[in-house]
Structure formats: structure tokens, C-alpha cells
Amino acid sequence: MDLLNTLVEKGLRRELPTREEALAVLATSDDELLEVVAAAGKVRRQWFGRRVKLNYLVNLKSGLCPEDCSYCSQRLGSKAEILKYTWLKPDEASQAAAAGVAGGAKRVCLVASGRGPTDRDVERVGKTIEAIKEQNEGVEVCACLGLLSDGQAERLREAGADAYNHNLNTSEATYGDITKTHTYADRVDTVQKAHAAGLSACSGLIAGMGESDEDLVDVVYALRELDSDSVPVNFLIPFEGTPLAKEWNLTPQRCLRILAMVRFVCPDVEVRIAGGREVHLRSMQPLALNIANSIFLGDYLTSEGQAGQADLDMIADAGFEVEGAGTTTLPKHRADALAAAGATGGCGSTASAGCGSEASAEGAGCGGHAEEAGGCGPCGGHAAPVRTSDEARTDLVAVRRRGAGTDLAPNA
């Protein structure tokens, strides 16, 4: 297939595909799917071998968010019956993080719901980062706290944060249809603040919100322009109690094509399969490891993931290996560039610090890790893709009832 040969060649050279080529990936047929996965796999192996980085989420503060992000189970007005609690103490967060590290996680992602942190919140998170790093040697820490004010990224870096997550989620043209309380430009500004402070920038998207192929390509091109070191790809989890709980627009095949497009546009960055992989990829998850080089271990912010041991078994059975703490995540040219920018360790640049992310991601922290986003509806003026499946797998959507904020052991 000439298209795929061209995309592989460009990916190996870190050359940007044309928009038409990116759109063509999303338009491939199911009969061509294995060829698409194999082509994306060649690019993935060039820059990341057969390593899979494990990340672990700790929800520092759950629910009660004043923002109206339509996809989020923690949004203003959400009726989703999620856990709600205020800030975890540093030692509580450190204990939660230790469970993920013991399960093989190389990075801990600290997420808090809300529009953005106050200076007191930044100080609180700084103490939590210190506690985690004191008890877990070599762990990377990514913060996801929402929109940043001037100077806050620098203070997080001084406290030991290696990265900052803030997802763009969807295209600029359609962003106003999913959120009214802040803008797409606000999100871009926060990612740029993190970059300027020497933090590794982590920013991704949510697929399945009624967006068009053009919207998906637009947001991925924007992420490449922002030079994010890691791109979490979230698949919408339609939570009951959120605006579009009935939106089920994704199939496993569609998810694989989206991941492949992201890999071709961002060949040398950490592409993470984030929230919704269990719901939408289902039994095709191992195939997705041929494209992405990173996943979240265990549960997400407000929803449950598959068992942590099942994640580890899946990686081994698919012929991949868990990336160790002593291995640099990013290719040398990206790690060197991050170090030159003044990062304290950066995205995989050393054995003791680095990057990799929402969740997630999820809609916490005003658009941090979006792993259990609750749906935003058909966005903007673009035509939504033809629904390819009416199958609503509500049986796969489970609210988290264990781990942080509870007395039950976490899933790691």
C-alpha cells in the first residue's frame, strides 16, 4: 500500500505527513487494518523498540469541579456517582503511588479536579511530590492540576515535578462546544507555560466525542506543533450522569486507526493508550501495543481499569516488555533537547527522572487526564462520522470504589 510505505518512511525520518495522508489513515477499511497496524508498528519500534512504559494515576482530589467540560464525570452538574473527596495528605498520596510503583509503574501522575491550582495548592502538591520521591527512588512524577498561573510551573519543577499534563482534547474549531468555562487558548497557554519552565509537556486528546476526522487530525497536528513529549490518547467513556452518556461512537477498529494516525504524525513521542481502552479496544488491546508504547496501569481517576496483573500479562503475552526505571523513555534526540531546555531530568532523560503521560488521562484538573470523560456531543460545524456501532457496553463502565480516597487496596 503506497500510502503506508510513504508514512513509514516519513515516520522513520520524523517528517510530518500531509493532512491528506493523515486523513487517509482514518479512512482505511477494516480489510486494511492489519496493514495499518503493522506500518505504525515499524515506526513505533524504530523509536521505542518493544518497550511499554507503565504509568499510575493518583487522584489527589476527586469531583466537585467548577468547570463544565461535557465529557467529564467530575464536571459541574455531573450526576455520575463517583467518589468525592478533598485533598489527600502527602503520606496518603505517597502510599497510593507506592502501590503503582510496586506493580511496575515508572511514572506517577498526580491529578486534582478544579479549574487550576492556587498557590497554596501548588505548595501542597510540592510536598506530595517530595514525599513520593523520598519513598520511591527513581520514580517520575507528572502533575495535572488544571490551568496554570504565572510562576506555578516553575514552582512545581523546583519541587521535583518532571512533567505537566494538560490535554487539548479536541480541535480548536470545536472546543467551544464541549466547554464554556475556559477556552482552547487557555489550554495551549498552560502547555506552553510547562514547556517554558523546563517541565516535559504531556498533552493529548479524547476521541469519540462526535468529532469528525478533520477534528482529530487538527488536534494531533496542534499537539505536534506544541512539541509535546507524550500524547495520551483517551477514548470517551460515556458515564451515566454526564451530558452524552448515550454516545457510543467507537469500535476497536476505529480506535486502532486513530492510534496509528497519532503515531504517524508524532512518530518519536510517547504515545499512551489512556482512558477507555478497556471499554473500546476490548480484546484488541494487545494489538494496540504495536502502535502505542505506554499505558496506564490499573484504575483511572473515577473509573476502574482492568486488573493490574492482567495488564502485565497482556504485555508479556503480546511479546513486549515493561520499561525499567533505568531505561530512557524518549529517543536520544528528544531527551537531549529537553535536557538542554533546562529540565531537571525531563521526559525519560535519566534513570531517576523523566516523562512519559491523563490520564488520562481524564477531565480532572480542568482538562488533565481524560480517561473517563463523559462525552461532549457532536462538536462544531463538522459532520460527525457515521456511527459504526450501536453497541453500548455499559457493563464495561465501572465507577472506581477502591484505592485513593477509600479504605480499600488499590488496583495495581
Choice among 65, 347, 366, 376 that is catalytic: 65
Contacting residues for 196 by C-beta, under 8 A, at least 6 apart: 153
Active site residue 69: yes
| Alpha helix (H) residue ranges in 233-275 | 252-265
Choice among 51, 75, 142, 266 that is catalytic: 142
Closest by CA to 341, choosing from 159, 215, 184, 157, is 157
Active site residue 202: yes
Choice among 69, 144, 355, 366 that is catalytic: 69
- Cell numbers 476527586 correspond to 62
Rounded CA separation 124/47 (Å): 36
Rounded CA separation 149/196 (Å): 13
Answer whether 392's CB lies under 8 Å from 245's CB: no
Choice among 44, 72, 277, 379 that is catalytic: 72
Active site residue 355: no
Closest by CA to 164, choosing from 144, 185, 148, 139, is 144
The verdict on whether residue 69 carries a ligand-binding annotation is: yes
One-letter amino acid at 273 equals I
The verdict on whether residue 277 carries a ligand-binding annotation is: no
Choice among 75, 157, 272, 277 that is catalytic: 272
One-letter amino acid at 409 equals A
**Chain centroid offset of residue 85 CA:** 23
Rounded CA separation 90/137 (Å): 16
Rounded CA separation 369/275 (Å): 8
The verdict on whether residue 266 carries a ligand-binding annotation is: no
Rounded CA separation 205/200 (Å): 17
Active site residue 109: yes
The verdict on whether residue 115 carries a ligand-binding annotation is: no
Active site residue 144: no
Choice among 75, 109, 277, 334 that is catalytic: 109
Closest by CA to 79, choosing from 210, 245, 278, is 245
The burial class, CB within 10 Å (0-12 / 13-18 / 19+), for 157 is buried
Contacting residues for 307 by C-beta, under 8 A, at least 6 apart: 298, 411
Active site residue 72: yes
The verdict on whether residue 65 carries a ligand-binding annotation is: yes
Rounded CA separation 18/22 (Å): 6
Choice among 107, 157, 202, 266 that is catalytic: 202
Name the binding residues: 65, 69, 72, 109, 142, 202, 272
Which amino acids are annotated as binding site for [4Fe-4S] cluster, given as ranges?
Answer: 65, 69, 72
Provide the annotated binding site for [2Fe-2S] cluster: 109, 142, 202, 272
Catalytic annotation, residues: 65, 69, 72, 109, 142, 202, 272
